A and B are shown apart, each in its own frame.
Chain A
């Protein structure tokens, strides 16, 4: 007795929703600290503004981190979108456009996890998801939203590729490492990813 109806792997439990939300909020804090402490970093790009795309993975990591920790359909999209909403509420330089960007970026990562039917959470998938969220984000900014509409074609392409590489490293590699480090602390105890640190980097789990 006492067996509650088993939740399926796809269903979000309350703890999944709250943890995903708090990850997005913590991402908002990290954005805030990044803005507050690293304003000069962006000034460093005054000489060649498109190079700032190399750091844009900073804005993309919630998507992959959320998915790797929650391991549910929609986690990448939800975390990225909520992180975008929070940066909009804190006053974003892109206005409501940030919501569209968030949705596009989240979708990039989400599609990769969906392609693996939400069964693979290993390093290659994380790298691919990070790269894809960058490519989606870059295309969104350079072509769809037209933030750089006056760039030359080569510059736009450079922007997309640089964002993808940044996504691969910051949103892909670093979040995968972070998930393992978090699992080691026992902080993921209530979640499906609780033993992420014991899984093989290339494994099926």
Chain B
């Protein structure tokens, strides 16, 4: 260990990259039939910039994870041969190594920009003052120098998140940076700034750089070497980057395995159709996510059979919202969206009013994330799902009989090359297979209009070609196709007309809005925000928890009164306080009602309801119970409106010595709350688009909701897995860590805690004095 830390110290002060040497290296994941990597022999000299390619399943990510030290050998996972970094075993993690994966959401760990940059360096035990000096420096290097350190990481765009992750990596001062498809999930506009930041970082630190990408355009000219992994193991090609431009044989070979070599566009057949009947017409239509969300400009458009339309525009212009509205999943905020008689076939003209079963046979929507739309346990059931639910217009009659459904399923399996996977669980397919399946599930009900959100995003060239081919066939058979896309080649292949959405002027430069509940809402600058979180927590606990012992109105009123008096300290007006606390007040009222109804009766009976009755005694008990419930709950509003959970976590770990792995793990998980809420909302829409929600019995409804919960858990677990890799790669949980934000406890904090204790005692004292004290445990 002392050796390791000595080496770390040496590394931190030097400015050079690390050398990598693999000798017959291999890795076998648990429960896989074949090894992910085997017989790998390669030497990468210090400071080299390498582009790492290979067909899907060739072990690119596995190699990066091994180098980052996040793979762990045990009885079921085996490594063979040797993998050395600067002559040390890579698994011993002697040197800090930076790793960036493709999902921007899980490359961020903390909820504030400054904290996130510091996270990895803190885990390495670097002195706080050194980290504090580095933070602004590395943020500037990645082009985020103008961000406030307290800026919420959730409000950054995907490209900015990746650059923030890079800043965090730089703060660790690694001699090796590993990037696993860093640009696959970000908008084209964000790709170049990110690439430039990566290259500048590699240049200034001298770090060795390994980038895995399948879109080579952005990187090919800027790397020293191209390595192509062979699917069976070992290195297939070791190339000069120039070969990606000049060597036709290599270009063809790479393109055939799905890699986007620079300048390559797969060849598709011409569509060659003429526009058919009008199907959907939008007039002066504005769209928005919710009643309170921003609306787009008014949109006019026509969708015709056999024609494709692509929707273009920058982030936040409302492209996806438009797609959801055209898909009958959101209601237009204003204006009209009208289905022609040919499309509606006897239904009303507004798609949003159609039941899910009616919708699936008319307008199909393919979501960006295929997993959001999977609703069954096998590929075959997945394809049969929509056609068995599709209903004929104006009736409960099935659109397809069971034989027709079966024929349709077999035909689609064949057409999409999924026959061999018919019984596989959809979630276990590869990325490209999932994408094809998600399109096929929607096509299964033969909709006349097909809407796709970013269908080619992050796809390899083979999947791209398959998608384009399917859609061209659909156009020829009379379907109207709408695609939200950044992909100009794709638009050309579909011979699509284009609709450009622009942002509302007053909407430009707006932060990315966060929907749903927030745990770390901005706090303002009230007096209480400056108090140690543990002191506040202790004060609220000391003031409220004694109330558990008694049910009386006096002690409750003391605490409610004190809370109201303390509102200015938290910077809350009475109005804002009521907006935050009304659910608590209603809950108190409900509790009062419950006791009044079923509590023990005494005194005069006021109302009699069969076996239940309300008496004077039970009403008084009810009021006391309701007030106590409110008194227990409302003081927490003071705490929450003035405390950032990260600060509370920091104080818990530093001052109460709660194990920091659990505190920081919990905080990292909590950062995903908003994202998961958004995902849950998306799942509701995505499942309606599949025909869920048009269910006949209550049991089917309950099953459908449980299915949605399960889908949410799958997404949550996937994110958790990636987040854990990020945290491990940032050295989390390996040794003693330092804290950039050190928690302090001053006299002022002590005073707040004391006031809390006094209030708790005063409340009980007042009840005893008034003679209303009423112990619950008797």
Contact = CB atoms under 8 A, between A and B. Distances in A.
A14 B732 contact: yes
Contacts of A194: 30-31
A93 to B, nearest CB: 3
B425 A12 contact: no
B680 A29 contact: yes
Contacts of B74: 4, 6-7
A48 B612 contact: yes
A19 B595 contact: no
Q: Which of A145, A188, A190 has most B Cβ within 10 Å?
A: A190
Contacts of B625: 147, 149-150
Contacts, number: 221
B608 interface: no
Interface string A146-182: 1111111001000000000000000000100010011
Q: Which 5 A-B pairs have the closest CB atoms?
A: A21-B669, A146-B776, A49-B594, A93-B587, A185-B427
Nearest to A186: B428
B600 A150 contact: yes
Contact of A2 (B73, B537, B724): B73
B600 A152 contact: yes
Contacts of B597: 48-49
A24 B728 contact: no
Given A25-B716, A50-B598, A150-B600, 14 more contacts: A15-B725, A18-B669, A19-B721, A21-B666, A29-B673, A49-B598, A78-B662, A91-B581, A93-B583, A96-B545, A100-B545, A147-B591, A178-B713, A182-B717
A188 B82 CA distance: 28
B239 to A, nearest CB: 29
Contact of B72 (A13, A24, A91): A13
B248 interface: no
B551 A150 contact: yes
Interface footprint category on A: 35 or more
Given A13-B72, A92-B633, A95-B635, A195 B428 contact: no
B637 interface: yes
Contacts of B583: 91, 93
Interface of A: 1-4, 6-7, 12-15, 17-26, 28-30, 32-33, 42, 46, 48-50, 78, 82, 85-86, 88-97, 100, 143, 145-152, 155, 174, 178, 181-182, 184-190, 194-195
Contacts of B668: 18, 21
B717 A6 contact: no
A187 B776 CA distance: 46
B593 to A, nearest CB: 7
Interface string B46-82: 0000000000000000000000000011110001001
A97 B546 CA distance: 11
Contact of B712 (A29, A49, A155): A29
A30 B544 contact: no
Interface in B722-761: 723-725, 727-728, 732-733
Interface of B: 30-31, 72-75, 79, 82-83, 89, 91, 377, 425, 427-428, 516-517, 519, 537, 540-541, 544-545, 548-549, 551, 580-581, 583-584, 587-588, 590-591, 593-595, 597-600, 612, 618, 621-622, 625, 629, 632-637, 640, 645, 661-662, 665-666, 668-670, 672-673, 676-677, 680, 706, 709-710, 712-714, 716-721, 723-725, 727-728, 732-733, 776-777
A21 B670 contact: yes
A22 B716 contact: yes
Contacts of B712: 26, 29-30
Contacts of A78: 662
Given A15-B724, A26-B676, A185-B425, A149 B632 contact: no
B636 A91 contact: yes
Of B593, B669, B721, the most chain A CB neighbours within 10 A belong to B669
B45 to A, nearest CB: 23
Contacts of A97: 544-545, 548, 632
Contacts of B666: 21, 24, 82, 85
A149 B718 CA distance: 44
Q: Residue among B541, B668, B724 with the most chain A CB within 10 A? A: B724
Contact of B598 (A7, A91, A152, A178): A152
Contact of B633 (A28, A29, A94, A188): A94
Given A21-B670, A174-B706, A189 B79 contact: no
Contact of A152 (B581, B599, B669, B725): B599
Contact of B672 (A14, A17, A22, A184): A22
Contacts of A190: 721, 724
